[in-house]
Structure 1
Amino acid sequence: MRVAILDDEPAELQRVEQTLRQIPSPVEQPWSLHCFERGEDLLRQLRRETFDLLILDWQVPDITGLALLRWAREHLESPPAVIMLTSRDAESDIVTALNCGADDYVSKPFRPNELKARVTAVLRRHGLQKSTTQEVQSFNDLIFDDAELTVTRAGKPINLTEREYRLASCLFANLARPLSREYLYERFWTHEEMVSSRPLDTHIYRLRNKLGLTADRGWQLLTIYGYGYRLESVASTTDS
């Protein structure tokens, strides 16, 4: 779970980070928390990286959290979930932030248990916290079984390693959403593996072949130059 936290007070940043780390996360999607004291620094990262959630302080000296919320909603193809975390608690401020696209609004000083509950609820609404009962999902003719870590097509199993399965599951769970290389590396590889080779490109190549991620089967796995990858559903040639 890749989260960006913006607050110009280091002590508050640390408190939010410590609170989030207390929320259980799926084994395949551990917390990856990125703290920013300047809005400009976060904006720079938003232009080139993928985040699942932004927690934004409104009153930051350079670029406010509200300005970043508006920018994300206007410029990102698939904007992340956003929670405003701020000392501004007037009703007009809450209404403004929610109308600009914030998923939730938490006033400072925040209560840790409340923040954890609100973060969990927002991630669940965005499909980022899977229900423990949701183990089998279908995408066209592909059936994903999270309990067995297997993919089948027409009842026939497709031979995938565990890492290939988790990477494929992530791509399908984020259909049409651009995912940065850093986002995928943080989720599925250790730092040592990242510097030793180009494992992501190899796995993408294998998944294209093994899962048949081609237009005639209704899929397009695009390489976004200088950024990462995006899996899209397209009209298959057999449908025309």
Structure 2
Amino acid sequence: MTKILVVDDEMAMRQGLVDNLMFEGYEVDEAENGKVALDKIQSESYDLIVLDVMMPELSGFDVCKQLRQAGNQVPIILLTAKGEEIDRVLGLEFGADDYISKPFSLRELLARIKAILRRTQHSTTPVQNLTEIGQMKVDFEKYEAFVGSEKVKLSHREFEVLHFLYNHRQKIVSRDDLLKNIWGYDEFPTTRTIDNFILRIRQKVEINPNDPKIILTVHGMGYKML
């Protein structure tokens, strides 16, 4: 059964999410703050985390950043009471897979959760189907990447952007194409977010990220993977 961790310091909000997710058939655990969440994540395995941003002592940004620095790539949806662009950009840069601004509809949150789980709960077959992209070899089915024998850390969203570019290689892909097809909902992040994702992907794919040979910028239009 899919297991979700809900992290929110507001008890009413947390309990409401827990009850509704359990009603949808998920196994649900909860944490009242970031520190408790990190302790639980160290001892339990979760398929997805719903994480509030504005919490005392340890914010959702801090939790997300610490998990990614430790190599934990569990999908994360950030809940934020703010709507400013900077909060959205920061959340994605810290490695979150998605964000949703309060107040939100339960239907929208459930749709986001299902979309992420569809992408991440892939086949567990041990056979690797590696695709070579620059200096990196990628298994898009298992969401794994390697440079030589070393495993490379990519967020789920980075995998999706990379996969989309690979499926459209030799073609120009606009920033709007990526926003529409990867994020896939009406309230898009900014095109600057795409540029930041491309920068991070280049650092892993390119031998020299400052002189890219695999993912090229087509000025005024977008990107092209060779």
AA at the equivalent of 2:60? G
Specify whether residues 175 and 48 from structure 1 end up closer, same or farther in structure 2 by C-alpha distance, changes over 3 A only. farther
**Is 1:91 aligned to residue 85 of structure 2?**
yes
- Residue deviations 1:138-182, cap 9 Å, x none? 544xxxxxxxxxxxxxxxxxxxxxxxxxxxxxxxx7999xxxxxx
Contact kept? 1:4, 1:34, Cα under 8 Å? yes
Tell me what 2:153 maps to: none
Q: 1:91 to 1:175 in 2, by over 3 A?
A: closer
> In the aligned structure 2, how far is the partner of 1:111 from the partner of 1:9?
17
CA distance in 2, matches of 1:104, 1:22: 22
CA distance in 2 between partners of 1:36 and 1:58 (Å): 13
Show the 5 A alignment for 1:11-50: 11-23=12-24, 25=25, 31-50=26-45
Partner of 1:57: 52
Offset at 1:12? 0.1
The CA deviation at 1:16 is 1.3
**Closer/same/farther in 2, CA of residues 175 and 96 from structure 1, 3 Å limit:** closer
The aligned residue for residue 168 of structure 2 is none
Which whole-Å CA distance do the structure 2 matches of 1:117 and 1:35 have between them?
20
TM, length-normalised to structure 2: 0.53
Conserved in 2, the CA contact under 8 Å of 1:55 and 1:83?
yes
After TM superposition, give the deviation of residue 127 of structure 1 in Å. 2.2
- Residue equivalent to 2:65: 70
Which structure 1 residue ranges, 5 or more long, are not aligned? 26-30, 131-136, 141-172, 177-240
Counterpart AA for 1:100 = F
**Equivalent-residue separation in structure 2 for 1:12 and 1:138 (angstroms):** 38
In the alignment, structure 1 residue 115 sits paired with structure 2 residue 109 = yes
Q: Deviations over 1:46-105 (max 9, x none)?
A: 2222111111100110211110000111103x4210000120211110011011111111
Equivalence for 1:10: 11
Q: State which of 90, 97, 106 in structure 2 corresponds to 1:103.
A: 97
Aligned partners of 1:41 and 1:98: how far apart in 2? Answer: 22
Change beyond 3 A, Cα 1:124–1:14: same
**Residue 180 of structure 1 corresponds to which residue in structure 2?**
none
The one-letter code of the counterpart of 1:49 is E
* Aligned partner letter, 1:15: G
Once residues 43 and 143 of structure 2 are traced to their aligned partners in structure 1, the CA distance between those partners, rounded to angstroms, is 17
- Do 1:57 and 1:65's aligned partners in 2 also have CA atoms closer than 8 Å? yes
User: Could you tell me the percent identity over the aligned residues?
Assistant: 32
- Taking the aligned partners of 2:143 and 2:45, their CA distance within structure 1 comes to 11
- CA distance in 2 between partners of 1:15 and 1:94 (Å): 24
Q: Distance in 2 between matches of 1:99 and 1:20?
A: 27
Distance change in 2, residues 1:9/1:34 (3 Å):
same
**SS state of the match for residue 43, structure 2?**
coil
Measure how far apart 1:126 and its partner are.
Answer: 1.0
Consecutive unaligned residues in structure 2, runs of 5 or more: 128-141, 146-226
Which structure has more RCO (C-alpha within 8 Å, separation ≥ 6)?
1
